[in-house]
Amino acid sequence: MHPIRIAPSLLSCDFSRIAEEVAKVESCGADWLHVDVMDGHFVPNITIGPPVVAKIKEVATTPLDVHLMIEDPLSHADSFLDAGADVFTFHLEIVEKIDPMKLIDKVKSRGRKVAMAMNPDGNPHDLSPFLPCLDMVLVMSVFPGFGGQKFMPEVLDHVRVIRDELGFTGEIEMDGGIGPENIAACAEVGTNAFVAGTAVFGAEDVGQRITDLRETATKSRPG
């Protein structure tokens, strides 16, 4: 059984104090640091590129969970791997534009974890050809592009299909509006990694929030 992982989303942190924000959530028990990369094309927002990821890597002591919401992750793969991506996630929605197996092989050849993300309106069965090669699937519980959106409970069925019907034994991560009110439902269907932005960085007591999220998920997971 995969460990419960809490991955605070740095998209919700104070970027003017990012080194302090990283240190704070790490000291409070964060397992991964979730880094959202957006190109203004695949999603309407623009965030950061490899130089900023590299600077985060310099101060981080926990793995960087890098979520590439970009149109051409294959061309930029080496840049983000060189910058320090420990978990490299690209989207199911762009696999017809690139050679997904070439990208998966590239990431694995660098000794990193490779994951595929799917949007809320995606079909989890479309992941089937890739599942044997993936370390993780990221199920988006909001449409990607901006933080602070409301969790979409209908995506819980995607996790059920991936875990139970398709038999995926790797890690499953959920991203979008995750907080104390819904993390139990996510864990119950087989999610083990949880991206939390506002719920963590907006909490009065960040350490207690991470502890509470982890304990709730642990109690709620199947088996």
Catalytic residues: 36, 175
State the Cα angle at 32 between 78 and 39, rounded to 5°. Answer: 45
φ/ψ (deg, to 5) at 168: -70, 130
**Burial class for 9, CB neighbours closer than 10 Å (0-12, 13-18, 19+):** buried
Query: β-strands 5-8, 193-196: how paired?
Result: parallel
Beta strands in 92-148 (DSSP E): 113-118, 136-140
Q: Which two tokens stand for residue 36?
A: 């959202």
